[in-house]
């Protein structure tokens, strides 16, 4: 049984003032495997005060100092990569083959931001004026459970590059992996107060960060509903916000696409992170005359997807993170059947031989884009196959959503796919693949968020331009 009873404030692991206990579960079995003692408002305030005090000196630190810290953070995470992966697999249920790659990517976030920082000029000239890009202040980092380690490293890397100090509030469901990661970050030897980690509930700790006048910016990743609460709470103190929210991304299969090549990409995009991914391509748009052929190929390929214990190296889809998430996905599968979509694979209940929070990877065919399963973010391995009449209608359906985070376009003619991509309202569009560019801006259109992470766009969202004239 894991007992996590410390938070990290001002360079030390300390016992929180909060005394509420939260049970941790192994999602592969549903059994309790630990407890975390949650931080409360007082702990949040202490963490904010520590970050505010540290900001005085850290905001003045040189580029060389920050580059050295980013390198030390990278080294410290790499040194314990296996421990981090083991904690994520046990606590979150992500398949080990994928989670070990994600730990590597999480460490890499520090080096990617160091690359950005190295070539960034904090003083720019506009005619005779100096535009000095100035660290914004204390940054509140509020994040979800679906990629806890990667979110902490990427958001912290950006804040450090900018010269900002941070208060990080992970999900209470990520306490174990947060503890291991905190030990790594501590080993990197940052100045006290530059990062503080207070695991607690959103209503208690998250809301305190959003309300505090001493927090200049919130970098939030999570649901659109909570993102709206954060935006409202931030208005009173005019906080800057970066909001990375939900998605319902389209995968558009143009009528000239090679279906055999498209199938693995559709499944990779749709079932990424066991379907618990903001960028999952969950609405698969296909020309009506190709619908049945693609459906058959997808069902055949889904039979080969290994759904198994996350510790099994062959596993490609693990359990949902929690009972709540399991029930949410079950509810949507039942809703899809009730609304009249064709259930082509999967369905309600557990996969054979598995319990815990495992769900059956599910494919619905002949889905209408107005159905609930095509509109709501399900956050599980449930795909909707939506027929369209022509390219124009495919674009209309793709854009007929409240979200706009990612999109995927497949075609044997990349130039044609590029023309379609330009008409899709989404922050990131991949053509014939599942590409990633860590220096390119990442974020959403419409209700998928505000602002961008990564690279220069992410860095500048932590800086205020100050114009000095006449010197």
Two structure tokens written together for 419:
């023309």
Least Cβ distance, residue 277 to ligand NAD (angstroms)? 7
Q: Does 141 bind ligand NAD (CB under 6 A)?
A: no
Nearer to ligand NAD, 138 or 226 (CB): 226
CB-neighbour burial class of residue 46 (10 A; exposed 0-12, middle 13-18, buried 19+): buried
| 3-state percent helix, strand, coil for the chain, nearest multiple of 5 | 45, 25, 35
Convert residues 403-442 into a mask of x (bound to ligand NAD by CB under 6 A) and - (unbound): --x-------------------------------------
User: Residue 6: CB partners within 8 Å, gap ≥ 6?
Assistant: 13, 14, 15, 16, 37, 179
Q: And the tokens for 276?
A: 């618990």
Q: CA-to-CA distance for 51 and 54, rounded, in angstroms? A: 5
Would you call 244 a catalytic residue per the annotation?
A: yes
Q: Is 284 helix (H, G, I), strand (E, B) or coil?
A: strand
User: Is 248 one of the binding residues for ligand NAD (CB under 6 A)?
Assistant: no
User: Angle at Cα 108 formed by Cα 458 and Cα 159, nearest 5°?
Assistant: 35
For the record, the structure tokens of 418 come out as 């590029």
Mask for 155-194, x = binds ligand NAD (CB under 6 A): --------------x-x-----------------------
Q: Which residue lies nearer to ligand NAD by CB, 44 or 253? A: 44
Kindly tell me which of 365 and 443 has the beta carbon lying closer to ligand NAD.
443
| Residue 307 and residue 299 in contact, taking contact as beta carbons nearer than 8 Å | no
Cα dist from 372 to 124, 137, 317, 329, 386, whole Å: 49, 41, 24, 12, 13
Check: CB of residue 458 under 8 Å from CB of residue 452. Answer: yes
- Name which of 207 and 252 has its Cβ closer to ligand NAD: 207
Binding mask 205-244 for ligand NAD (x = CB under 6 A): -xx--x----------xxx--x--xx-------------x
Determine which one of 165, 182, 278, 384 is catalytic: 278
Measure the CA dihedral 330/243/80/276, to 10°: 20
Residues 105-124, interacting with ligand NAD (CB under 6 A): none
The catalytic position among 90, 172, 204, 244 is 244
Per CB under 6 A, 377 contacts ligand NAD: yes
**Out of 190, 278, 298, 384, which residue is the one contacting ligand NAD (CB under 6 A)?**
278
Return residues touching ligand NAD (CB under 6 A). Answer: 142-147, 169, 171, 201-203, 206-207, 210, 221-223, 226, 229-230, 244-247, 278, 377, 379, 405, 444, 449
Tell me the catalytic residues.
Answer: 244, 278
């Amino acid at each position: 049984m894991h007992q996590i009873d410390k938070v990290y404030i001002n360079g030390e692991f300390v016992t929180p003032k909060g005394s509420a206990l939260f049970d941790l579960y192994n999602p592969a079995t549903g059994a309790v495997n630990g407890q975390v003692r949650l931080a409360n408002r007082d702990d949040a305030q202490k963490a904010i005060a520590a970050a505010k005090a540290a900001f005085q000196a850290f905001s003045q630190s040189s580029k060389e100092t920050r580059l050295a810290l980013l390198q030390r953070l990278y080294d410290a995470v790499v040194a314990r990569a296996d421990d981090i992966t083991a904690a994520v697999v046990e606590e979150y249920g992500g398949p080990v083959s994928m989670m070990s790659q994600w730990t590597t990517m999480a460490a890499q976030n520090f080096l990617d931001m160091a690359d950005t920082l190295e070539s960034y000029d904090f003083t720019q000239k506009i005619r005779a004026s100096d535009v000095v890009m100035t660290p914004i202040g204390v940054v509140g980092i509020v994040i979800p459970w679906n990629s806890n380690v990667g979110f902490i490293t990427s958001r912290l890397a950006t804040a450090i590059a900018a010269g900002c100090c941070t208060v990080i509030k992970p999900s209470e469901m990520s306490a174990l992996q947060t503890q291991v990661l905190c030990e790594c970050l501590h080993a990197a030897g940052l100045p006290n107060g530059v990062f503080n980690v207070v695991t607690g509930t959103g209503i208690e700790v998250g809301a305190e960060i959003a309300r505090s006048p001493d927090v200049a910016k919130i970098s939030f990743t999570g649901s659109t509903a909570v993102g709206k609460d954060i935006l409202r709470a931030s208005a009173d103190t005019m906080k800057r916000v970066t909001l990375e929210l939900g998605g319902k991304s389209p995968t558009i299969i143009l009528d000239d696409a090679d279906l055999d090549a498209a199938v693995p990409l559709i499944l990779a995009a749709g079932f990424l992170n066991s379907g618990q991914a903001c960028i999952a391509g969950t609405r698969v748009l296909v020309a009506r005359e190709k619908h049945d052929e693609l459906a058959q190929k997808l069902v055949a390929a889904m039979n080969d997807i290994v759904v198994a214990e996350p510790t099994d190296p062959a596993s490609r889809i693990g359990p949902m993170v929690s009972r709540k998430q399991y029930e949410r996905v079950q509810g949507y599968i039942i809703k899809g059947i009730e609304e009249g979509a064709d259930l082509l694979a999967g369905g309600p209940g557990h996969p054979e031989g598995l319990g815990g929070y495992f769900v059956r990877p599910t494919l619905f065919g002949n889905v209408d884009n107005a159905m609930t399963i095509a509109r709501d973010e399900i956050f599980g391995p449930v795909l909707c196959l939506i027929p369209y009449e022509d390219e124009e209608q495919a674009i209309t359906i793709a854009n007929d959503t409240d979200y706009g985070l990612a999109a995927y376009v497949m075609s044997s003619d990349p130039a044609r796919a590029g023309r379609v991509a330009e008409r899709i309202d989404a922050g990131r569009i991949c053509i014939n693949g599942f590409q990633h560019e860590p220096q390119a801006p990442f974020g959403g259109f419409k209700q998928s968020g505000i602002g961008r992470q990564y690279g220069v766009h992410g860095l500048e969202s932590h800086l205020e331009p100050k114009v000095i004239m006449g010197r």
